[in-house]
Structure 1
Amino acid sequence: MDPSPSPSMDNPTPNHAQKHPRNLFLRFGNFKMYSDGNLELAAPTSTAAADKSCLPEKGLEFDLIPGVLPPSTAKNNQLFLDQDSSFIPNNGFSSITGNVVYTGFDVGSTSNVESGPQFDLTWLQELLKRGDYVEINSLLLIMQGSYLQLMTDQSLSIVFKKLVGACRGNQLDLIVEDVLLSSQSFINAAFCKQGASSICKLIKRVKNPSHALAITKIFSTQFWAIMTDDTATSVMQTCFDCFHQPNKVLYEQAILYCQELAKDKVGCISLNELIEKISGEERQRLLKAIAACSVELSFHEYGNYVVQSLLALKKEPQVSSSVVLGLRGRIVELSQQRGGSHVVEKCMMASDLGLVYVVKEIIITPRASLQLAQDLYGNYVIQKGLKETKVRRLEWLCELLMKSLEPYRRELNQTKGGKIVLGFLKDEGAIKGPTTTAYKKNNLVWRRL
């Protein structure tokens, strides 16, 4: 398409022409926007101008407000001006006459001259950097209806972010209201890298409580899918960081789906991040809901990470106590699992009550101390028990644990894990650590995977 101005159109605004030569343009349906801010009809030879089938039915009406680009759509996201209509905005654009279709920003292939927008990103970024309120207003009006496409386009998403950053006053409201018109498209944008990054940028700038609530309500409809997706979860976490009251609708979904989230590879990470951020009544309800299913989660390959997070909450000892009490009778079994052994160690670290419960259960269970000392994962539980009982001056409990191991010295000396535990049975071993050659040699290769 020939970028030169049509002879029938008005001359460009002088000030714009001086700053930006008219050699760049964007395509919008049947007209072009030049880098100087002027609009022109496409050349008569263009397919879009010649093909009348692209026009909406005649007779469609909409209100024309002088100086304001029509914000609403008539048919298929298109607006129609009659043959004799004349629309003259007050933002520096040229007059527009004849049959015109306004389709918004066509984000097609940036390499195809005929099908995609032709523009200079440098020019757009310079315009946004200047931050001129009137210029940005003009750009917002032209791009109306196309923000979601901008957000997800690999090349243009940077323009959207800069546009959001340049908005002042109620300009950001125009973008938010536009993108929220299509809630499903807004959600879909969160699942691609560029879209998620663009949404996060938008959320960080939203100050209007009604807009924040509208965003969280939309995301709540696909809460599970977003929280369990590697890319989309960043959008949800940004909501948790930036909003407060509007997040309540998301918190309710987290409480409802906490067990399922904890069992998901991505969901368990998202849930742990939420545990760090959630507050108020919803926090207590969420923690209580997770604690109620903590036994099952402790044995799960992903769920155990969430239980560990609960046990690490030093300011909420009632939560860790609830988990410890729920695990009574399952300590020895759980200690022999990779993730479960970490949970048991966290139980001992959470409180003196947790330490006493764990060590006592090992002591009173027949041959449990030997079984765990020889186990790939269980030996770490025994080591932690010996260390913590000594450090916390629970010598009576430490002595009972060592006595339960004493009869099995020969058996312990036959396995790598057993030899490590034997090192702890030396004088002061529980506090200073083992010093035997056998321990030093095997400690280099005996690792919990």
Structure 2
Amino acid sequence: MVAVWYKQLFTNGAPEEAKMIFDGIIEQISELMVDPFGKYLVQKLLQKCDGQQMMHIICEITKLPGQLIQVACDMHGSFVVRKMINRINTPAEAYMIVSSLSPGAVTLMMDAHGSYLAQRCLEKLSPQNKKFLLDAAIKYCFGLARGCHSCRILNLCIDNANEDQRDELLYNITSRSSALDLSRHQYGNYVIQHILGLKVMWATDNILDQLEGHNGYLSMQQCSSNVVEKCIKAAQQPRRLKIIQDLINYPKLHHLLHDMYGNYVIQTALRQCENDTLCAALIGAIEEHAASLRKNVYGKRILSTIRCLKC
């Protein structure tokens, strides 16, 4: 409650009283930032302080290596540091904060609270000042794509990168076997879906190349089934037809048609197939299992989609 009283005094008191409060708490500023009540006082300081005081605050919270990272990964501290990012007015302020955050870029992106600061940096900082996050994303993209919080930040890095940075990110994520592994991952699949949505055809083709021959069993997994659906929608017609042919030739098509995830992939394939011959082949392959599909809740959905297409 003392912090609340100080906040009121700092807001409504005389200038000399505000200065006295500032001088009295500046050495404990880091502790106040992570305090559930103290954070509101620091927020008020950031709103009211002049340029010299702002620099004094930044110097205090960055004087120890890793100190700002620790504050930024705290539930209360993250809130205050985000306010500080909004308040940056000079290159010197930006340089000091970025220099202190840079060694812990990956830690920030993977942390529940730090990830929100990483997002704020991507949104508010200049291209040069947010480069530390993009460099970390390029280097550690596979691990970040598999993180609960960092997968979202990785997608934001892709969106906020310049063309060269974006291409390097997309190449690292979609090269070798990364795309196949991430498609099956509970968080990585969101990154692959995001890339498919960008409609960068060379990156899409890299993903399609890796998933080729695997689309059948991927369609029966919760995470990767969404990726296969996205592939069908994002691929150009020749590649889309190849995916559909992959599904028709899948040895366990019977299981795929009755599957709680696979049925959605089949429905998408039916709606997206623009080749009459292949569409007829797909429908024919499905109708071979019509008797059992009529007795299955997921199979009924596929048969209903076929009826709609024939109308």
TM-score under structure 2 normalisation? 0.89
User: Which aligned pairs between 1:196-345 and structure 2 lie closer than 5 A?
Assistant: 196-243=78-125, 244-292=127-175, 293-314=178-199, 316-345=200-229
Task: For residues 196-223 of structure 1, give each alpha carbon's deviation from its aligned partner in whole angstroms, at most 9, with x where no partner exists.
Answer: 1111111111122233233233323223
Q: 1:126 Cα deviation (Å)?
A: 4.5
Aligned counterparts of 2:209 and 2:277: Cα–Cα separation in 1: 22
Match of 1:383 among 262, 267, 289: 267
User: Which aligned pairs between 1:28-107 and structure 2 lie closer than 5 A?
Assistant: none
Aligned counterparts of 1:142 and 1:378: Cα–Cα separation in 2: 64
Residue pair 1:263, 1:302 contacting (<8 A) in 2 also: yes
Q: Select the structure with the greater relative contact order (CA < 8 A; seq sep ≥ 6).
A: 2
2:287 pairs with 1:406: yes
Aligned counterparts of 2:310 and 2:56: Cα–Cα separation in 1: 64
Q: 1:360 Cα deviation (Å)?
A: 1.9
Residue pair 1:258, 1:289 contacting (<8 A) in 2 also: yes
Aligned counterparts of 2:44 and 2:310: Cα–Cα separation in 1: 57
2:56 pairs with 1:174: yes
Q: What secondary structure is seen at the aligned counterpart in 1 of 2:132?
A: helix
Residue 28 of structure 2 corresponds to: 146
**Paired letter, 2:202:** Q
Aligned counterparts of 2:233 and 2:297: Cα–Cα separation in 1: 25
Pair 1:268–1:358, CA change in 2 (3 A): same
- The structure with the greater share of residues assigned to helix is 2
Residue pair 1:129, 1:166 contacting (<8 A) in 2 also: no
Query: Could you list the runs of 4 or more consecutive aligned residues of structure 1 that deviate by over 6 angstroms after TM superposition?
Result: none
Q: What secondary structure is seen at the aligned counterpart in 2 of 1:143?
A: helix
Structure 1 stretches lacking a partner, 5+ long: 1-109, 111-118, 433-449
**Paired letter, 1:409:** A
Aligned counterparts of 2:3 and 2:252: Cα–Cα separation in 1: 72
Pair 1:408–1:258, CA change in 2 (3 A): same
Pair 1:214–1:285, CA change in 2 (3 A): farther
Aligned counterparts of 1:320 and 1:337: Cα–Cα separation in 2: 20
Q: 1:335 Cα deviation (Å)?
A: 0.7
Aligned counterparts of 1:161 and 1:207: Cα–Cα separation in 2: 16
Match of 1:415 among 279, 292, 296: 296
Q: What secondary structure is seen at the aligned counterpart in 2 of 1:183?
A: coil
Residue pair 1:151, 1:198 contacting (<8 A) in 2 also: yes
Residue 185 of structure 1 corresponds to: 67
Q: What secondary structure is seen at the aligned counterpart in 2 of 1:181?
A: coil
Q: 1:368 Cα deviation (Å)?
A: 4.8
Residue 355 of structure 1 corresponds to: 240
Pair 1:144–1:419, CA change in 2 (3 A): closer
**Paired letter, 1:405:** I
TM-score under structure 1 normalisation? 0.63
**Paired letter, 1:207:** N
Residue 155 of structure 1 corresponds to: 37
Q: 1:159 Cα deviation (Å)?
A: 0.6
Q: 1:157 Cα deviation (Å)?
A: 1.0
**Paired letter, 2:94:** A
**Paired letter, 1:284:** D
Structure 2 stretches lacking a partner, 5+ long: none
Task: For residues 243-269 of structure 1, give each alpha carbon's deviation from its aligned partner in whole angstroms, at most 9, with x where no partner exists.
Answer: 121111221111111111112222223
What is the alpha-carbon root mean square deviation over aligned residues? 2.4
**Paired letter, 2:143:** E
Pair 1:149–1:128, CA change in 2 (3 A): same
Q: What secondary structure is seen at the aligned counterpart in 1 of 2:116?
A: helix
Q: How much identity, in percent, do the aligned residues show?
A: 28
Question: Number of residues paired by the alignment?
Answer: 307
Q: 1:421 Cα deviation (Å)?
A: 1.4
Q: 1:154 Cα deviation (Å)?
A: 1.5
Q: What secondary structure is seen at the aligned counterpart in 2 of 1:145?
A: helix
Pair 1:396–1:241, CA change in 2 (3 A): same
Residue 48 of structure 1 corresponds to: none
Residue pair 1:216, 1:250 contacting (<8 A) in 2 also: no
Q: 1:131 Cα deviation (Å)?
A: 8.8
Q: 1:234 Cα deviation (Å)?
A: 1.2
Aligned counterparts of 1:122 and 1:337: Cα–Cα separation in 2: 56
Aligned counterparts of 2:222 and 2:236: Cα–Cα separation in 1: 23
- The structure with the greater share of residues assigned to strand is 1
Q: 1:379 Cα deviation (Å)?
A: 0.9
Q: What secondary structure is seen at the aligned counterpart in 2 of 1:182?
A: coil
Task: For residues 319-351 of structure 1, give each alpha carbon's deviation from its aligned partner in whole angstroms, at most 9, with x where no partner exists.
Answer: 223212221111112111111110000101113
Pair 1:160–1:394, CA change in 2 (3 A): same
Residue 105 of structure 1 corresponds to: none
